[in-house]
Amino acid sequence: MATIKLDNIKKSFGKTDVIHGVDIDIADGEFIVIVGPSGCGKSTLLRMVAGLETVTSGEITIDGAQVNGVEPMDRDIAMVFQNYALYPHMSVEENMAYGLKIAKTPKAEITERVAEAARMLQLEPYLKRKPRELSGGQRQRVAMGRAIVRKPKVFLFDEPLSNLDAKLRVQMRLEIKELQSRLGITALYVTHDQVEAMTLADRMVVMNGGVADQIGAPLEVYSNPQTEFVAGFIGSPA
């Protein structure tokens, strides 16, 4: 488990300012969902927490330690993307083991962790298959498995279900929530699906043009929007 603190985070690409000073305090084991229109900076914010983008100014603190200069591999964070980013030439088993191999985890431990993740995610029958031989939901589970085996302190999700059909999306979001609360891993989850946000979030962050307009429990945000933008965005079809 981990606390995450974003303190006045700003990001510019060249002369373009895309994040204008975001503050979020995340508790141990909390599930935070970030919503907002396309281009408002959701992915950029997540990528800065992951260490995949530098922070232009401000501080990111994980479990009390400032991590601005810390490499992604050393942040105890696992990220699940929309396109799964699985290696097509590797089997399910190899895909899940890959990050651990890179981190020089002992072989016996890799085998054990992959087996445990496969059991949790009901992937045991598919371990020898290649990603192209799997359904969308199974691929999504492999991406989850690859995140879980690293025993991260933090889960980051960037629209992980948007390539799935509606029925599978509902099933997978329940699985993600169940897994996250069982493992007690702090989660930051980006989506443009408001029902998904309502179901998953302990608190949601509504972003608007690089600013966090409102942060609060879903019901509070829905019943008491703090800005005109939030009022218009929430409840309107995505």
**191 contacts Mg ion (rule: CB under 5 A):** no
CB 128 within 8 A of CB 91: yes
Residue 122 CB, shortest distance to ligand ADP, in Å, is 30
Reduced 3-state DSSP string for 99-161: HHHHCCCCHHHHHHHHHHHHHHCCCHHHCCCCHHHCCHHHHHHHHHHHHHCCCCCEEEEECCC
From the number of C-beta atoms within 10 Å of its C-beta (0-12, 13-18, 19+), residue 158 rates as buried
Comparing CB distances to Mg ion, the nearer of 43 and 95 is 43
Residue 218's binding partner among ligand ADP, Mg ion, none (Cβ under 5 to 8 angstroms by kind) is none
Amino acid at 135: S
The residues of the shown chain that bind ligand ADP, judged by CB under 6 A, are 13, 18, 36, 38-44
- Give the one entry of ligand ADP, Mg ion, none that residue 113 binds, where binding means its C-beta sits below a cut-off of 5 to 8 angstroms depending on kind: none
- The distance of closest approach from Cβ of residue 180 to Mg ion in the complex, given in angstroms and rounded to an integer, is 20
Residue 111 vs 163, nearer CB to ligand ADP: 163
Q: Which residues make beta-bridge pairs with 205?
A: 34, 215
Binder of residue 40, out of ligand ADP, Mg ion, none (CB less than 5 to 8 A by kind): ligand ADP
Using Cβ positions, the residue closest to Mg ion within the complex turns out to be 43
Residue 55 and residue 18 in contact, taking contact as beta carbons nearer than 8 Å:
no
- Out of Mg ion, ligand ADP, none, what residue 13 binds, judged by CB under 5 to 8 A for its kind, is ligand ADP
Helix axes 136-148, 107-120, angle to 10 degrees: 140
Instruction: Give the whole-angstrom CA distance, residue 18 versus residue 44.
Output: 8
Q: How far is the CB of 45 from ligand ADP (least distance, A)?
A: 7
Residue 50 is inside which H or E element, if any? helix 42-50
- Residue 56 Cβ, how far from ligand ADP at the closest point, in Å? 12
Give 43 or 138: the residue with its C-beta nearer to Mg ion. Answer: 43
Within residues 31-70, the interface with Mg ion by CB under 5 A covers 43
Least distance between ligand ADP and beta carbon 24 (Å): 15
Q: How far is the CB of 91 from ligand ADP (least distance, A)?
A: 31
Among candidate residues 203, 150, 145, the one with its CA nearest the CA of residue 176: 145
Which positions lie near Mg ion, rule CB under 5 A? 43
